Every structure is written in structure tokens, then in C-alpha cells.
Amino acid sequence: MKKSGHVIVGANVAAVGAIEGIRRHDTRSPILTISYETLGSYSKAMLAGYIEGATPEWLEYRGKGYFERMGVECLYGRKVTGLELEKSKLLIEGGEEVGYKNLLLAVGGIPFKPVINGADKKELIFSFTEFLDARQIRESLSKFDSVVVIGAGFTGTEIAYTLNKLNKKVSVIELGDRVLVKALDPRSSGLAESLMREEGIDFYLNDTVEEIEGKKNISGVRLKSGKSIPCQAIITAIGVVPNGQLMSNTALNFNRGLEVDEFMRTNIPNVYGAGDVVKALDITDGQKRPLPLWPLAYQQGIVAGANMAGAKYPYAGGLPMNSLKFLKVPILSAGITTPPDSGYEGIYFNDPKGSFYRSLVLKEGRLKGFVTIGAIDGAGVLTGLIKSQLDMSELKEALLYEKRIGLIRLPREWRNKIFTRRDETGYHD
């Protein structure tokens, strides 16, 4: 049986965070990462760029030689098939066993795939969450001119935008009444939709695909509303859910997400979790939920790694954050963007010159979330205010109207601490 000190299942951003967390406290123990993906470690957030023609090497965001430099052994293209937690070992496809001292499950999320009539045995139906998906889409680009994207969330709109850029006729079908419902408030959602419509993308809201038409090849989709849309390919982008494949029939607490404590430890003492697979603290409401977002996966990885290496280092929690990086006009959002009840105050400003839009959600004078379109410099100051919960009731107009949000609106004492002394970003492990 192969043995390693710290074993990580998964090789993407949470795993990279963990490697960095482990190496801060333990420079010697062997680390092993195992991933079923042959490309191993790459930036999932840049897959649209790969479809547009970038090389796989471009996706390797830590660069060549990173794992070697960090003293990490990699097993890529190998699927972990089972866990034997009481013996601290796992099984790999082909029968090989690997023993571990500490295990990190950074197995990510899996796309939620709807069951649609007529989908059987048809080619050119894709998801868009991992490299293999992106490669299949890229290799099939010559086989379709028109495509239906199911789902108008972040992934759906990004792939729609990308394929539209590559001269495909793109129609997006969304069950909800607006696009990007999780990331944006209704007004900014409308602005985002018109930005994409201007590029030539069609949207069908409050609708869903009932049936995929065509005998051998896809010829179109029939919607619940009765409309028919001709298309040759379909991409499903309804969302990702935590990947619980390995956890079934084990003692691990997995309930629509892997349960972890503040140290990213599961109910099994030498097993940790990080990234899209876990339910972790959302500071906007204090609940634990899956938040499949890049920076959070990385931070959870660092925390898990540090604790695997013997530190006692809590996760500070995260919040929803989105950057619609693909649009011509940048849109950033964080926290709660639509007031959920009358206890919250929603204010917005639409610059009459049309150059920028901003909306804020506050509760008792404290910022809970925002959307900013067009003017994004300093947006992180707003994100910081959601974290620090400083009372901004006197200053909310400034935060709303000023194009660039500066530190000058923050309390002098808070500001001077970071001007002259240590940083206040937390994570002082």
C-alpha cells in the first residue's frame, strides 16, 4: 500500500490553497494530490478562454513546476473509488490503496443535469464545469451554428456570451423571471440582460425546455410555453451541487454538502473538506451553505491545510461575490443584493448619464450587499464593509453616488490602523 502524510482528493483551487496552508506549518511531510482529471490542476474560472482558443498550459495558473516545488506528488487521471475511513486509507481505480495521516476532500461540485425528453443518445449536449466539458465544446465548435443554453446563472451567461462571440446563434432559457438572479438585484439584472441582448443573445425567461427535438441530431427544443427554438447543440448550466459521490455509505456527514466545523474538519477527526463540496459559513446571515466561489474555495483550502498541519486556525467565513468579467461593462456584486424582507433597506442610483449603476442593501445602517456596474474601482471597500459591519447610516449616500469608493468615507481610526500598522485582513496564522 502506498502511503503519504497529507492526501488531497482534487487538484484545483481548494487543493492549491490547502497545499499552501500545509506548507506554512509543515515543510516536510509528503503531500499527495489525486485527481481523476488528466489535466490535473488548472483554473476552472478561465475555461471560457480555453474555448476561445487558449492553450491548456494557459489554464495552469500556478505555472509549471509548482507542485514539484511545493513537494507535492500528483496522481492525475486516477479516480478515487472508495474511502475506508476507519483504516485511514482510500482506494483508487484499478485496486491501488493509499494510506493517509490526514485526508482533504476537495472534490468540488458536480453539474446538476436535468432529465429532458428526447435527450437520449443525442450528441452535442454539454455541461460547462470542467476541462473535459470545455474541450468537448471546443472540439465540436464546427458541428453547430446555433445553441440553446439552459440556465441564466453565472455559468450559463458566461458560456452564452463566449459562444455568441464565436458567432453562434445563442438562445438562453431560464426558469426564473430574470437573469443572474443569485448575483444581482432586479434592476441590475435587467441591465445585464440588455447588455447581452445588444450582443445578439436571445433570452426566454419564465420558461423551460420540455423536449429536445430531432431524430438523430438535435434540430431544436420545444419550450413549456409552446415556443420552438431551432438549435443544433444544447448546454445545460442549471447549477452545481456538492459532489457527494465518495461520501455515500461512509460515516461522513453529507447532507447536500459536506458538513465541516470552523476548522474545515469533518465529523471524522483526520478528514477535512474545502471548496465547492462543503457547506461553510456565509457571514451575510450566519448560515452554513455551499457557496461555490473561487476565493472562498482557496481560503477554505488554506484553513484546512493549516489545520491538517497542526495549526488551530478557524475559517472566518465567506460571502457571495460575483464578477461578470465577460461583459463589456463590468458588473461586480457581493453579499445580499435584493432586500429579502422589510428589515432591509434597498437603495439604488442610476447615473443619468448612463455611465454607472449602483445598488446597496443595508440593515440597521450596516452594509449587507451591493451591485456596481460601470464604476468598479474601489468596489472592494464595499465588500470590506460587508465584512466589518461598520455603521454607515450617515454615509450611505456617499457610498451610493461616488463613482470611486475610497477609504476617505471610512472612520479615521479604522483607516489609520491600516495606514500605519498591521493589515486587518485576518488570517494571521
Partner 1 sequence: MKKVIIVEDFCIACYNCEVACVATHSQSEDPVKAYKRENRRGRSNTIVELSGPVAFSAMCRHCEHPWCLDACISGAIQKLENGIVYLDEERCVGCWGCVLTCPYGAAHPNLKGKEKHAFKCDLCMDRLEAGLKPACVESCPNKALIYDETMVEA
Q: Is 70 in the site for partner 1 (CB under 8 A)?
A: no
Smallest separation, CB 383 to partner 1 (Å) = 6
Interaction between residue 426 and partner 1 (CB under 8 A): yes
Three cell numbers at 102? 490526514
The three-class DSSP label of residue 300 is helix
- DSSP H helices, 171-237, are 186-198
Kindly write out the interface string for residues 367-406 of this chain, putting x where it contacts partner 1 by CB under 8 A and - elsewhere.
---------xxxxxx-xx--xx---------------xxx
Instruction: State the cell numbers at 85.
Output: 475511513
- Closer CB to partner 1, residue 143 or residue 417? 417
Residue of 138, 325, 396, 403 that binds partner 1 (CB under 8 A): 325
Cell digits of residue 215: 431524430
Q: Which is nearer to partner 1, 63 or 226 (CB)?
A: 63
Of 326, 323, 321, 329, nearest to 191 by C-alpha is 329
**Per-residue mark of binding to partner 1, 331-370 (x: CB under 8 A):** -x-x------------------------------------
Separation between Cα atoms, residue 396 and residue 293, nearest integer Å: 27
Identify residues 23-52 at the interface with partner 1 (CB under 8 A): 43, 45-46, 49
Shortest Å, Cβ 48 to partner 1: 10
Q: Report the C-alpha gap between 262 and 174 in whole angstroms.
A: 36
Q: Closest CB to partner 1 among 74 and 306? A: 306
What is the DSSP code string of 230-259?
A: E-SEEEE-S-EEE--TTTTTSSS-BSSSEE
Q: How far is the CB of 46 from partner 1 (least distance, A)?
A: 6
| Residue from 99, 118, 214, 330 binding partner 1 (CB under 8 A) | 330
Q: How far is the CB of 58 from partner 1 (least distance, A)?
A: 9
Cα–Cα distance between 263 and 270 in angstroms, integer? 12
The span of 211-219, 264-272, 318-326, 340-348 binding partner 1 (CB under 8 A) equals 318-326
Q: Which three cell numbers stand for residue 108?
A: 468540488
Burial 200-225 (b: 16+ CB within 10 A, else e): ebebbeebebeebbbeeebebbbbee
Measured from the CB atom, the residue of 251 and 408 that comes closer to partner 1 is 408
Question: What is the rounded distance in angstroms from the CA atom of residue 357 to the CA atom of residue 131?
Answer: 35
Q: In angstroms, rounded to a whole number, what is the distance separating the alpha carbons of residues 93 and 80?
A: 6
> Which residues make up the interface to partner 1 (CB under 8 A)?
17, 43, 45-46, 49, 60-63, 294-295, 298-299, 302, 321, 323, 325, 330, 332, 334, 376-381, 383-384, 387-388, 404-409, 412, 415-416, 418-429
